[in-house]
Structure 1
Amino acid sequence: MNTLTIERTDVATSARRNEPQPTTGSFETVDPRIEITAALGERYEEILTPEALAFLAELHDRFAHTRHELLAVRLQTRVDAANGRDPKFLPETSWIREDTSWRVAGSAPGLEDRRVEITGPTDRKMAINALNSGAKVWLADQEDATSPTWANVIEGQLSLFDLLRGGLEYTSPEGKEYRVERPLAETPTIVMRPRGWHLVEKHLKFHDRAGRAMHASGSLVDFGLYFFHNAHALIAAGRGPYFYLPKLESHREAKLWNDIFVYAQQALGIPQGTVRATVLIETIQAAFQMDEILYELRDHCAGLNAGRWDYIFSIVKTFRSRGRRWVLPDRKSITMTVPFMRAYTELLVQTCHKRGAHAIGGMSAFIPNRRDAEVTERALAAVAADKRREAGDGFDGTWVAHPDLIPTARAEFDAVLGDRPNQVDRLRDDVEVTAAQLLDIPSVGGEVTEAGVHDNISIAIRYIESWLRGTGAAAIDNLMEDAATAEISRSQVWQWLNENTVTAEGTRIDQTSIVRIMAAAVAELPRFEGDRFDDAISVFRTVALEPEFPTFLTVGAYARHL
């Protein structure tokens, strides 16, 4: 196989030029290790340059094998949990937890004050709205808030590319014009979230040195394209290449990211330690390895985030077949104040501040409705209470999903922080969280109701339908739903069904009752021309009603439908 080899100095020079590179027909003639299997839209060649693809090929050559090994470890961990083995604090890494001397790199330019961060997808309209929002940070989300259609993946990269070169504009089909209202230095700091390790990019195939073809890693594609094209431009703008790392389940997965950062900085001639990463603690496995995750990333780490919705999904997924005492009640009953969620967030704040890292709070699902004052009033009150609790607990910042929520969230953090950029110096020595507290699922209480079953079915189907049409963040019943909340909904239905749960009304949840409740939910769906509800219902049946439990609903849906 004839493979184009680009020296590291060439890669760095190309990235500094920030110029689109010429292409000739098929990219296979440039570097046969990466094969594009989808059509190229307008300006896609500015992102999928020969040099950028060669960089992706190098990332896969060096790191794809380790990724596959770690995904195999995840599978064994799931088997162990199903067989009754609980997650635990690792005895072999106790020295990391007990050593009080080490610290992480901490904040970097533009990340000192993170009191309010806005999250959202990277399409042009949503990107501009986020940049005009007044938040301190924008989580530019290529993961749970983005449906990974080929167009969304590459055009999201184009949005970020144009933003850093002063050319991000958008005109809606109705003729409304959107543009960034402030200089880049005055806009929220960009922290990009690539897809998790479990996801692939099926429109790019990687051919390894043995000639074997495989789908590219979604994580490496998202990170690699963004870093290659924008790292130098970000540094020149006084910020840096910053990332949110999703779905980690172990410190070994964190080490893989750290190794990638080290290589990428070296390849592009960027000083080591320029990258900053914030890790989402959104799995029960990672909750037991927070110190170790920070340690593996310590030269590149800014903090941890309490990814509450995926964390709840992880709890249901991990213990879904462990018996009725592990069954959680209606989704709305699983609040941030139930014991296992309190333990998780208090341990996160304590761990972060002990190591000089920021602790970032999660996202309340409530969103305002500009056409309904009562809904908005309830949403603002709920968000204020949520952010008041986070700021009081010691978090340094929080997430919102809608610009109208920023003043409410900021007011709660301003009341605690004042003029200080953060409260990292607030050590939570009063906190002592045990493994038993993190695993105290049975004490949640609450009920499973027929309304709760109906709502989960309805929300999951409506979200999946939106996702299949290319929208990954959807307002449903005045809540912001993304892939994580849809995962909770479908996994709870699976668990209730397989544990023969009895509702508060006395109905046993079995195939008969599910079919009845689902028929009622489907009858209420807002059908329209071009909808994908039939596909969504099929996906839901597969991920919620079949005996085998798919680890992520998006994996199969992506393979079959996007």
Structure 2
Amino acid sequence: MQQTATTTPTTPNSGSLTVVGHDIAGQERVLTEGALGFLQALCDEFAAEVPELLAKRRERQQQIDAGQLPDFASDTAAIRTSDWQIRGIPADLQDRRVEITGPVDRKMVINALNAGVKVFMADFEDSLAPSWQKLIEGHVNLQDAVRGEIEYTAPESGKHYQLNDHPAVLVTRVRGLHLPENHVLHHGNAIPGCLFDFAMYFYHNYRQLLAKGSGPYFYIPKLESHAEARWWAKVFAYAEERFCLQPGTIKCTCLIETLPAVFVMDEILYELRSNIVALNCGRWDYIFSYIKTLRNHPERVLPDRQQVSMEQPFLSAYSRLLIKTCHKRGALAMGGMAAFIPAKDPQVNQQVLEKVTRDKELEARNGHDGTWIAHPGLAETALSVFNDFIGVGPNQLHITRDVDAPILASELLEPCQGERTEEGMRLNIRIALQYIEAWISGNGCVPIYGLMEDAATAEISRTSIWQWIRHQKSLSNGKLVTKELFRQMLTEELSNVKEEVGSERFSAGQFIRAASLLEEITTSDELVDFLTLPGYRLLTE
């Protein structure tokens, strides 16, 4: 599908919504009159509240910057201490022992649904660079997948891909509240990207999903408060009422991937109790959020990214509290991502699989009901671990962790021990550089040095360095981390990346622009909230 050179504004009847994206082949299946009418209604009802919610995030951050550490809120204590449960979990979401995630590229959708896992999370967020073409094509692909009609023939090899007889359950992750959709305007302003993603997937697929015994299922990312969860609850209730569906028909899983959110997990479950079925340990974004939220607190500077594992006390407390909270309320507790990808060398691959096994055993032993992988080659390993713990299943809701001591705020905020090394800093630069180059070129999910990198892992890489500069930390070899040292390393690592990828690939790519953006956001006096925000401006130019 190719983008044409012209822009065709499309406007529903009342005129408050305008599509200004370029014409994309297949968009007539996505931007239908009914879908745009639904999107306009959602924007009329809910778009204005998003800037208010984002402003409240900034207010909370200012309080933390001023020295007030995150804690459990006293005004919602009754929700945490009272006895209540979520509405319930549909049959096809009861067993989620392994989920695969990935962008909505056509071949990826087929391979993920065929991976032999329980769920495929089709991602419009961290693993997708949301160009207009990728969005439209992604929604076409999901329509075909829901109808069982998706096929793909690789142009280079002629290999044909199609769904097998027992595909995974499809769950769609929408964008976070902070991300706009510049190609659709509401009263002249860019709409929230999450409303576009939700409206297009829900409108076109809910009937077919319900007819085959499933439903419109969503992953909600990057929540920071229960007020944001309440906003989503209102969106879901509005959609259900508009289309005469039973309350609770829409089901969602919320990622707990921000530090503020871990203190309001009960409250998030409560606000969404009609629709929610699970919380998920989005641990890479959570590490990024730990850095971002505690950016003014020098005693909580993290070491090399590779040393921040789930064995670290603050991450272990996060995982255990999520399990205890979810199971108390009848919700599933999903584990985090194994970002490894299989290696061609058998000996190296064995080491990869051993690392994945240890990681998944820790999650399963803690009581998680399932986990994430980024590559079909890890499905058998992850399934084997969770099969051993869950057995015939379908989950581990019986593990209540009631005998655990209460997890205190101090445990969730505990400083992380480890070294800051020059090798780690240089690796962070190379990873962030290559990821940003891929993202602004339209690819949001990139294999780099044996790991499947998405926006979350790139965020850790660049904010770690920002944090070291901000608090004048030294590396283990004694070098003081300064803006000048970073710029010197960036120049050197840009040359190293050129050698790694080759002159032809380097010249044809966007590495210079990526280096410029990385320098801008890493040496900024104020921490840039998300690299995808300035990246989106480059992507949509």
Aligned equivalent of 1:180, options 162, 172, 191: 162
Q: TM-score scaled by structure 1?
A: 0.92
2:375 maps to 402
| SS of aligned partner of 1:504 | coil
Other structure's SS at 1:119 match: strand
Q: Are the aligned partners of 1:31 and 1:50 in contact in 2 as well (CA < 8 Å)? A: no
Q: Letter of the aligned partner of 2:101 in structure 1? A: T
| Aligned counterparts of 1:263 and 1:172: Cα–Cα separation in 2 | 41
Paired residue type of 1:481 = E
What displacement does 1:171 show? 1.7
SS of 1:277's equivalent in the other structure is: strand
- Alignment partner, residue 376 of structure 1: 349
Give how far 1:69 is off. Answer: 0.9
Aligned to 1:10: none
Other-structure match for 2:340: 366
- 1:486-525, aligned counterparts within 5 Å? 486-525=458-497
Contact 2:152/2:162 (<8 A) preserved: no
Q: Is the CA contact 2:10–2:20 (under 8 Å) kept in the aligned structure 1?
A: no
Q: 2:23 aligns with which of 40, 56, 59?
A: 40
| Post-superposition offset of 1:360 | 0.4
Q: Is 1:191 aligned to 2:163, yes or no? A: no
2:326 is matched with 352
How many residues align? The count is 526
Cα distance in 2 for partners of 1:268, 1:123 equals 29
SS in 1 for 2:171: strand
Letter of the aligned partner of 2:241 in structure 1?
Answer: Q
Secondary structure of 1:356's counterpart equals coil
Contact 2:12–2:18 (CA<8 Å) still a contact in 1?
no
CA shift at 1:191, angstroms?
A: 0.8
Q: Which runs of 5+ in 2 are unaligned?
A: 1-7
Does the CA-based 8 Å contact 1:31-1:53 persist in structure 2?
no
Matches within 5 A, 1:1-20: none
Specify which of 165, 168, 182 is matched with residue 202 of structure 1.
182
Q: CA deviation at 1:35?
A: 1.1
Q: Does 1:547 align with 2:519?
A: no
Q: Does 1:308 align with 2:283?
A: yes
Amino acid corresponding to residue 356 of structure 2 in structure 1: V
1:125·1:178 contact (CA, 8 Å) conserved in 2?
A: no
Instruction: Provide the secondary structure at the position in 2 that maps to 1:110.
Output: helix
Q: Which residue of 2 aligns with 1:150?
A: 132
Name stretches of at least 5 consecutive residues in structure 1 with no aligned partner: 1-24, 208-212
**1:209-228 matches, cutoff 5 A:** 213-228=188-203
Match of 1:473 among 436, 445, 454: 445
What are the Cα deviations for residues 457-506 of structure 1, in whole angstroms up to 9, with x where unaligned? 11001001111111111110001100000000010011111111100000
Offset at residue 547 of structure 1 (A):
1.3
Give the SS at the match of 1:40: strand
Structure 1 position 29, deviation (Å): 6.6
Q: Which amino acid aligns with 2:422?
A: E
Asked whether 1:530 is paired with 2:497, we answer: no
Deviations 1:408-458 (A, max 9, x none): 0011111111111001121111222001101112xx211101111101111
Partners of 1:314 and 1:511 lie apart in 2 by 22
Q: SS in structure 2 opposite 1:146?
A: coil
Which whole-Å CA distance do the structure 1 matches of 2:57 and 2:50 have between them? 11
Aligned to 2:419: 447
Q: Aligned partners of 1:74, 1:173: CA distance in 2, in Å?
A: 46
Query: For residue 539 of structure 2, what is the aligned residue in structure 1?
Result: 561
Q: Distance in 1 between matches of 2:271 and 2:11?
A: 36
Counterpart residue identity of residue 29, structure 2: E
Q: Is the 8 A contact 1:106 1:303 kept in 2?
A: no
Q: What percentage of residue pairs aligned between the two structures are identical?
A: 43
Give the aligned residue type for 1:79. Answer: Q
Distance in 1, Cα, partners of 2:24 & 2:248 = 35
Kindly state the Cα deviation for residue 196 of structure 1 after the two structures are TM-superposed.
0.2
Answer whether contact 1:131 1:180 (CA < 8 A) is retained. Answer: no
- Distance (whole Å) between structure 2 residues aligned to residue 108 and residue 180 of structure 1: 27
Deviation at 1:30, TM superposition (A): 4.1
Q: Contact 2:99–2:120 (CA<8 Å) still a contact in 1?
A: yes
3-state SS of paired residue (2:22):
coil
Alignment of structure 1 residues 41-440 onto 2, 5 Å: 41-100=24-83, 102-183=84-165, 186-207=166-187, 213-323=188-298, 325-369=299-343, 371-431=344-404, 432-440=406-414
Write the letter of the residue equivalent to 1:37.
V
Distance 1:263 1:202 in 2: 24
TM-score by length of 2: 0.95
C-alpha deviation, 1:520, in angstroms: 1.6
What is the deviation of 1:177? 3.4
CA distance in 1, matches of 2:12, 2:206: 27
Q: Which runs of 4+ in 1 moved over 4 A?
A: none
Q: CA deviation at 1:182?
A: 2.1
CA distance in 2: counterparts of 1:448 and 1:29, whole angstroms: 55
8 Å CA contact 2:148, 2:163 repeated in 1: no
Q: Deviations over 1:352-387 (max 9, x none)?
A: 000000000000222112x22233111101100000
Structure 2: how far apart are the matches of 1:417 and 1:50?
Answer: 46
Residue deviations 1:155-196, cap 9 Å, x none?
A: 11110011122321112221433433323xx21111100000
Q: What is the letter of the counterpart of residue 105 of structure 1?
A: R
- Looking at structure 1, the residues matched to 538 and 379 of structure 2 have their Cα atoms a distance apart, in angstroms, of 38
Q: SS at the partner of 1:28?
A: coil
SS in 2 for 1:192: strand
**Distance in 2, Cα, partners of 1:66 & 1:267:** 20
Structure 1 Cα separation of the partners of residues 15 and 184 of structure 2: 11
After superposing the two structures, state which structure 1 stretch, 552-561 or 51-60, moved more: 552-561
Corresponding residue for residue 3 of structure 2: none
How far apart are residue 31 of structure 1 and its match? 4.6
Aligned CA RMSD, in angstroms, stands at 1.2
Counterpart residue number, 2:4: none
Q: 1:67, 1:445 → 2: CA distance?
A: 37
Aligned partners of 2:487 and 2:519: how far apart in 1?
A: 10
| C-alpha contact (below 8 Å) 2:38/2:199 kept by paired residues | yes
The answer (yes or no) to whether the contact 2:487–2:519 under 8 Å persists in 1 is no
Give distance in 2, aligned partners of 1:515 and 1:306. Answer: 34
What secondary structure does 1:51 align onto? helix
